Amino acid sequence: MRCLVLISCIFSMLTLPVVALAQPPAGEDAEADAEASGEDDASSGDDDAEGAEDAAEEDAEEDDSVQLRAPTVEPLDIQLPPEEDDAEGDDDELPDPGDALSRLEEGGPPSSDPTQGTWGAPQPAITLHGYFRVRPELWDSFWLGRGEGDGTSDSTYEADPPFSNFRPPTREATVPGGCTGDGDIDSTSSCGESGTLAFANMRLRLEPTISLSDDVKVHMQIDLLDNIVMGSTPDGLITPATSGDPIYERQARTPRVPLDSFSTTQTSPTAGRNALQDAVRVRRAWGEISNRGLGQLRFGRMGSHWGLGILANGGEGIDSDWQSDVDRIMAITKLAGIHLIAAWDFAGEGIVEQHPFDLSQIPFDTNQDDDINQFVFAAARRSTEEEQRETLQRGDAVINGGAYFVYRNHNITSAGVADPYTRPSGAQAIFVRRSAEAFIPDLWFQFKYGDFRLEVEGAMIIGSVQNTQNDSYVAENFNLMSGAVALEAEYRMLDDKLGIHYMGGYSSGDPDVDGLAVTAGLPPQQDAAGVVDNNITTFRMHPNYRIDLILFRNVLTQIAGAYWFKPGLSYDFIRNSFGQLLGARADFIYTRASQPRQAWGNDGNLGAEINASVYYRSEDGPEIYDGFYGMLQYGILFPLAGLGYKEGDRLHSDDSLTNAQIVRVVMGIQY
């Protein structure tokens, strides 16, 4: 019944504007008023009618247009039910918590049950950030000429990894018909002396945020076509998995592409079909709950970054490739201006039960003893960008810094189990004692005064590993003791357009190990002067902490067992507060091995590298860094004796190293 009353009221309100706007002629208006007023108002209606007639005559003189008669509106004769007692409740009151929860669950996406209705609720706000980039690159002689010999049949020899990864296979491969000429049927040769690699890759990064309010949010990070080599998935390429070696085997012919030279389109990357990974990679998804009085709670898979990024690096720059992603439950609070952080990380769960033929099964961890446990604690003072600007404008110094501590332990390993998705039994149940423990402290300090910035981060790894084998127990009892420090200094002048830069750092090495490159597992400890101390002392910095373009970024893939000096200059021809930027930069990098014996040539001098770049950023988009970003880079590496040969490894006296060069272009749109 109340709904009928509500409909009547709405109908009356909708007709009122019609009555007000559609005025009838003067004579008809008086007659309509008299008929609607009834006999009870007859005594006073005469005076009112005369006044209405006078007003109507004046209106008629001003407007002679034809007007419609207003409709007569009479209230509906509705019998209302008796009012209920307040104790029985009112529909206008809020539902009880249980009913509210039920209705909230009905909100959002429609129910799978078509007979179940939904409750209209405020829609969350969705914001989207990220970037799209394309990077053409040209690499020349990244193998540094190692393993070349003098060209005779008995003098060529293989280059050591990782240098051999960049040596074009066609330099040694026999090509029937040859690489040039008319293709003589009896001709077989390699394809010249070129050591150049040229390619381009791309990435589309989506970082949506769903905000129910300022205090409740869900964040995600999704990469599409993540670093896929452009042109690597033509429709003529198909590589179904095989049971033999290699795991993937290319098909010589495919439907609609009988010859690979005439592929017609690029297809979406699909793991196991034409690529090693899918076109879509979900990297992060985590929830964030904030309370202004208590702090913040984060849970899910999220990024991890600290200080300069030598230990934990979020990898969020437009030219970044590596990043730290952790499955974490983290609590953050602020006390007396100090951020206090505690986190529980799921670093590794070992064997997970998930039957390959039951796609609907919810996987679960089958064993607690093979888990890798990690706990993180941190305390830091970091003022906001606005607070720093205000402090610097007052002529005061900005001081930020903090301590970051990680504890990790792993007692039993299941790495020897061949199938990590099925509960092992019998002979397949291979569990061995690992007894690995690590204490990882990290200190970070930042100082800003005027146009000067100094930032330092230092970290150590202290711990032990009893056994490094996966299928047996050998009491090796390795000790972990490594450390690293990185320093960055910057001074800006001429309205911040001229920048004087310096980067330096140190990463501990190991005199009992040959080579600085990343290898599978732990590198073997060599007998140095008849003594093997079983101390693992090489510190490997995060691969996204970069100091150059060639040696550590691409050839060795990360800084390890070395120290460096990097002075540089930059000048911004255009630099405004709206985000537009146009400038150039040049850097010189000199690197040495921390332990000369660890270098390939048993010499501390690794290389000298010169990097130069020109960069541009537009001022499009709502935020300061939104818009187009472009950069052209050039680098040349002069390898020194540390990247050469040991005495006795050189086959010929004329064996020499080759300079490596790189040309890179970064084109991106940030939003």
User: pLDDT for 459-473, tens place per residue?
Assistant: 999 999 999 999 999
| pLDDT given for residue 273 in this prediction | 87
More confident residue, 572 or 512: 572
| pLDDT given for residue 590 in this prediction | 98
Percent of the chain with pLDDT over 70: 76
| pLDDT given for residue 51 in this prediction | 53
More confident residue, 99 or 377: 377
Give 417's contacts (C-beta < 8 A, 6+ positions apart). 351, 424, 428, 429, 430, 431
pLDDT of residue 158 exceeding 60, the answer is no
| Nearest-5° Cα angle at 234, 273 to 260 | 105
Task: Tell me if the bond preceding 162 is cis, omega within 30° of 0.
Answer: yes
| pLDDT given for residue 1 in this prediction | 47
pLDDT in tens, 367-395: 899 999 999 999 999 999 899 999 999 99
Instruction: Say how far apart CA 464 and CA 438 lie, in whole Å.
Output: 7
pLDDT of residue 224 exceeding 60, the answer is yes
Residue type for position 223: D
Span 272-290, average pLDDT: 94
pLDDT of residue 15 exceeding 80, the answer is no
| Nearest-5° Cα angle at 618, 614 to 621 | 150
CA atoms within 13 A on the CB side of 544: 21
Residue type for position 373: N
Tokens of 461: 């790894």
| pLDDT given for residue 38 in this prediction | 47
Tokens of 67: 């007007």
Least confident of 15-19, 269-273, 338-342: 15-19
pLDDT of residue 6 exceeding 70, the answer is no
The backbone region for 166, taken as left when phi is positive above 0, alpha when psi lies in -120 to 50, beta otherwise, is alpha
**Beta carbons within 10 angstroms of residue 200's beta carbon:** 15
8 A C-beta contact, residue 385 and residue 398: no
pLDDT of residue 586 exceeding 60, the answer is yes
Least confident of 84-93, 180-189, 215-224, 353-362: 84-93
Cα 520 → chain centroid: 26
Give 414's contacts (C-beta < 8 A, 6+ positions apart). 350, 351, 367, 370, 420, 424, 430, 431
**Beta carbons within 10 angstroms of residue 520's beta carbon:** 5
pLDDT of residue 530 exceeding 90, the answer is no
| pLDDT given for residue 466 in this prediction | 94
| pLDDT given for residue 79 in this prediction | 47
Expressed in angstroms, the distance from the first to the final Cα of the chain is: 54
8 A C-beta contact, residue 516 and residue 536: no
Going from the C-alpha of 250 to that of each of 246, 257, 501, the distances in angstroms are: 10, 14, 49
| pLDDT given for residue 341 in this prediction | 97
Give 172's contacts (C-beta < 8 A, 6+ positions apart). 156, 190
Average pLDDT, the chain: 83
Domain spans of the chain, in order of start: 2-82, 142-194, 233-274, 477-671
| pLDDT given for residue 671 in this prediction | 94
| pLDDT bucket at 151, cuts 50 / 70 / 90 | very low
Find the DSSP H helices in 269-396: 385-393
Give 564's contacts (C-beta < 8 A, 6+ positions apart). 503, 504, 505, 547, 589, 590, 591, 592
Least confident of 101-110, 278-287, 313-322, 486-495: 101-110
Phi and psi of 168, rounded to 5°? -55, 130
**CA nearest neighbour of 237 among 201, 205, 262:** 262
Instruction: Say how far apart CA 562 and CA 605 lie, in whole Å.
Output: 10
Residue type for position 226: D
| pLDDT given for residue 179 in this prediction | 76
Pairing, β 364-365 against β 372-381: unpaired
Instruction: Say how far apart CA 483 and CA 515 lie, in whole Å.
Output: 18
| pLDDT bucket at 567, cuts 50 / 70 / 90 | very high
